């Protein structure tokens, strides 16, 4: 990876405590503080659909509450004991006092949470926030198959373009998070223009989470404000304070998430979550809309390339596979003489995907047609990552088979795609390997890519 150094956040500079927090009190502190809009899960479908569509257009966060009141809420199985018995045995935790991530047994993590107060004590050195634990299979099955949640909210919804990738290339986004009062993560955006979904499924001792959020459309203003604070938003290293939010030149949406609340996070919405009270357990997942793919391609990926942040979601490959599947689906609809409305919707999606793919091809196209560029010999999708910025390489890159790990005895023993790789954007900025003798490589013949 690149040489950009990220300085860990200094918790001791963060001057807040949740001891006297309330939603009403926080909203009164800032002239541009607003409550996150709410709608009940018990609403009629048409009453629920309207705010969902509005959320997609205005990029303002939304909370759907009262899921725990549904008759098919999982109830007794959505608790900490069940998670410890049936879930993943280990969990990644972050100590908010010094910030290194490490893995501990889930049992040890819960014991530590039960052993501390809901508020940071003087001299305290350990307070763990558990994140990105694998969601138990039973919870995932209930989420998808119980009928409690509308399909458009779920990870396997056809409108989630992350589902278009081949199985070997998919990224699991369904995770669990375990927190105790006054644990938090720095302000951040969800990955690659994706839409976040966060369901609080279990609490102890009135546990809750305070969310501080922005409109997705205000992402540039937030990034500029972080620069004024001498911080980089996309390094995810700054824990923003209430005082800094009060002075911010953009609207801030605040909510207190309680049991049964599902928070919907728009693409590019900058948000910081602070846990309050007792233990909370949440199920979270990400979805990628067609709008999110465009945002990722045009806005987020260039930022990641600049700050050397791993892409994680294969955005260009997702667009490529989505385009292929959408084209095949449209052909089936036309052959089956399907309803005109279905054909129009699919054709509209295909048109938007074509525009995105054209943009990718312009970036990946070799400038000189008569030059033979070596191609990685592989039948399946090739997974190459830029060794400097962390981008997922879709087609064209530069590679050095000399500057690789010392275990490789010679350049001839290193197959194409296994050397030191740089994406085209990094190479064009002058980034290179140590010996500076990199050669152009492509993942597949460019002609084949276009003709497909």
CATH code: domain of residue 195? 2.60.120.650
Within a domain: residue 220?
yes
Average predicted confidence (pLDDT) for the chain: 90
- The answer to whether residues 65 and 140 belong to one domain is yes
- Let me know: does 246 contact 48? Beta carbons within 8 Å: no
Cα 314 to its chain centre, rounded Å, is: 12
- Do 141 and 256 fall within a single domain? yes
Residue with tokens 């979904």: 197
Q: Could you tell me which of 310, 320, 307 has the C-alpha nearest to residue 364?
A: 320
Structure tokens at 212: 């501080």
* pLDDT for the residue 180: 96
Is 302 a member of any domain?
Answer: no
CA distances from 434 to 152, 300, 412, 431 (A): 49, 28, 18, 10
Number of H helices, E strands in the chain: 13, 18
Q: What is the mean pLDDT of residues 7-34?
A: 82
Q: pLDDT band at residue 4, thresholds of 50, 70 and 90?
A: very low
Q: Looking at the structure, do residues 87 and 191 belong to the same domain, yes or no?
A: yes
Beta bridge partners of 271: 188, 213
Query: Residue 395: which pLDDT band, with cuts at 50, 70 and 90?
Result: very high
Pair 227, 321 in one domain: no
Closest CA relative to residue 68, chosen from 93, 41, 50 = 41
Residues 107 and 198 in one domain: yes
- List, in order, residues 6 or more apart from 274 with CB less than 8 Å away: 16, 18, 182, 183, 184, 209, 210, 212
Could you tell me if 93 and 180 lie in one domain?
Answer: yes
**CA-based nearest residue to 181, from 246, 227, 115, 254:** 115
Rounded Cα distance between 226 and 248, Å, is 9
Q: How confident is the model at residue 11 (pLDDT cuts 50, 70, 90)?
A: very low
Residue 7 is assigned to a structural domain of this protein: no
Count of domains forming the chain: 3
What kind and span of H or E run contains 85?
Answer: helix 80-86
Q: According to the model, what pLDDT value does residue 379 have?
A: 58
Q: Is there a domain that residue 16 lies in? A: no
**89: number of Cβ within 10 Å:** 10
**389 in the same domain as 343:** no
Residue 303 resides in a domain = no
Identify whether residues 390 and 447 lie together within a single domain. Answer: yes
Residue 13: the pLDDT is: 57
Q: How far apart are CA 277 and CA 242, in angstroms?
A: 19
Which of 291, 324, 354 is the endpoint of a domain?
Answer: 291
- 319 with 445, same domain: the answer is no
- Which of these three, 304, 333, 364, is where a domain ends? 364
Contact at 8 Å (CB) between 221 and 249? yes
Alpha carbon 120 to chain centroid, angstroms: 29
Residue 97 lies in a domain: yes
Please report which confidence band the pLDDT of residue 5 belongs to, taking 50, 70 and 90 as the band edges: very low
C-alpha span between 230 and 423 (Å, rounded): 28
Let me know: does 424 contact 400? Beta carbons within 8 Å: no
pLDDT at residue number 374: 87
In a domain, 379, yes or no: no
Whether residue 285 contacts residue 316, with contact meaning beta carbons closer than 8 Å, is answered with no
Q: Is 169 found in the same domain as 52?
A: yes
Of 331, 364, 397, the position where a domain reaches its end is: 364
Query: Within this chain, do residues 412 and 343 fall inside the same structural domain, yes or no?
Result: no
The answer on 392 and 359 residing in a single domain is: no
41 falls within a domain: yes
437 versus 74: which is more confidently predicted? 74
pLDDT tens for each residue of 310-326: 999 999 999 999 999 99
Q: Which pair of tokens denotes residue 406?
A: 């010392």
Give yes or no for a contact between 252 and 212, defined as CB atoms under 8 angstroms apart.
yes
Q: Which of 92, 75, 100, 71 is nearest to 8 (CA)?
A: 100
Residue 404 pLDDT: 74
Q: Taking a C-beta distance cutoff of 8 angstroms, is the pair 239, 9 a contact?
A: yes
Residue numbers of the domain that contains 344: 315-364
Question: 187, 191, 231: which is closest to 211 by C-alpha?
Answer: 187
Would you place residue 405 in the very low, low, confident or very high pLDDT band (cuts 50, 70, 90)?
A: low
Which residues face 282 on adjacent strands? 177, 200
């Amino acid at each position: 990876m690149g040489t950009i150094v990220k300085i860990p956040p200094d918790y001791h500079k963060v001057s807040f405590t949740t001891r006297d927090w309330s939603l009403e009190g926080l909203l009164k502190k800032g002239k541009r503080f607003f409550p996150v809009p709410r709608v009940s899960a018990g609403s009629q479908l048409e009453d629920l659909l309207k705010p969902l569509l509005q959320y997609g257009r205005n990029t303002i966060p939304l909370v759907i509450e009262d899921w725990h009141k549904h008759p098919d809420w999982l109830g007794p199985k959505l608790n900490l004991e069940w998670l410890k018995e049936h879930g993943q045995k280990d969990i990644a935790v972050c100590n908010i006092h010094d910030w290194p991530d490490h893995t501990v047994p889930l049992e040890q993590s819960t014991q530590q949470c039960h052993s501390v107060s809901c508020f940071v004590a003087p001299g305290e050195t350990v307070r763990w926030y558990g994140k990105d634990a694998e969601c138990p299979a039973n919870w995932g099955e209930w989420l998808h198959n119980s009928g409690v949640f509308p399909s458009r909210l779920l990870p396997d919804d056809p409108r989630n373009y992350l589902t278009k990738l081949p199985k070997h290339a998919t990224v699991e986004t369904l995770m669990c998070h375990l927190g105790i009062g006054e644990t938090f993560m720095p302000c951040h955006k969800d990955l690659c223009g994706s839409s976040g979904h966060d369901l609080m499924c279990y609490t102890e001792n009135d546990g809750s989470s305070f969310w501080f959020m922005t409109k997705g459309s205000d992402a540039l203003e937030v990034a500029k404000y972080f620069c004024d604070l001498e911080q980089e938003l996309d390094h995810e290293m700054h824990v923003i304070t209430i005082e800094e939010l009060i002075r911010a030149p953009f609207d801030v949406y605040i909510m207190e998430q309680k049991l049964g609340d599902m928070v919907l996070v728009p693409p590019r919405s900058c948000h910081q979550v602070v846990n309050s009270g007792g233990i909370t357990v949440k199920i979270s997942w990400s979805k990628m809309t067609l709008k999110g793919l465009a945002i990722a391609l045009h806005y987020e990926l260039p930022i990641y390339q600049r700050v050397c942040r791993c892409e994680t979601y294969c955005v260009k490959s997702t667009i490529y596979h989505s385009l292929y599947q959408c084209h095949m689906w449209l052909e089936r609809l036309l052959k089956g003489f399907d309803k005109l409305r279905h054909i129009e919707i699919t054709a509209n999606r295909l048109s938007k995907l074509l525009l995105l793919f054209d943009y990718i091809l312009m970036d990946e196209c070799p400038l000189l047609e008569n030059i033979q560029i070596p191609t990685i010999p592989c039948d399946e999708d090739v997974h190459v990552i830029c060794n400097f910025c962390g981008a997922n390489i879709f087609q064209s890159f530069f590679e050095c088979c000399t500057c690789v790990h010392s275990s490789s005895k010679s350049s001839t023993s290193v197959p194409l795609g296994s050397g030191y790789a740089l994406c085209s954007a990094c190479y064009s900025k002058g980034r290179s390997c140590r010996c500076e003798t990199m050669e152009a490589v492509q993942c597949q013949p460019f002609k084949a890519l276009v003709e497909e």
